Amino acid sequence: MNEEKMKILKMLEEKKISSAEAMELLEALARLEGKESRAAKSGGRFLRIRVYENGSPEAKVNVNIPIAWSKFMAPFIEQKIGQKLRDKGYELDTEKIREALEAGDVGKIIDINDGGNKVEIAIE
């Protein structure tokens, strides 16, 4: 859990989210703490978001979100991350992500390639 808290605080520090949004995410993380440990014991799945730059084989951004938490974060993903991608000329199909989460699909959901830059979103 500490890693997730640090990521939230880092997003706040980088002004990617407001303090109110950070508080909401931290509160949700606290509520889901028990659910996450139960899911991990039972082979819980994660929404994995990876961003690669300049053709690097190593991800610059590698975020693993428990499925239960990702369902809570869907509106945040749609609003903040989707807008940032749209600003850069990419279209994020957030409905496709939501449907995959609800259906319990496993595998790659989104795969955006632009030259050497790549964004992958998968459920594993």
For residue range 68-107, what is the model confidence (pLDDT) as tens digits?
787 777 777 777 777 777 787 777 777 787 788 778 778 8
Cβ distance 27 to 60 under 8 Å?
A: no
Q: What is the pTM of this model?
A: 0.56
In the chain, the percentage of residues whose pLDDT exceeds 70 is: 90
What's the domain count of the chain? 1
Model confidence at 122: pLDDT above 50: yes
Task: Show the domain range for 72.
Answer: 2-123
Nearest alpha-carbon partner for 45 in 58, 36, 33: 36
Residue 42 pLDDT? 37
Residue 39 vs residue 12, higher pLDDT: 12
Angle between helices 19-41 and 67-76 (to 10 degrees): 160
Residue 14 pLDDT? 92
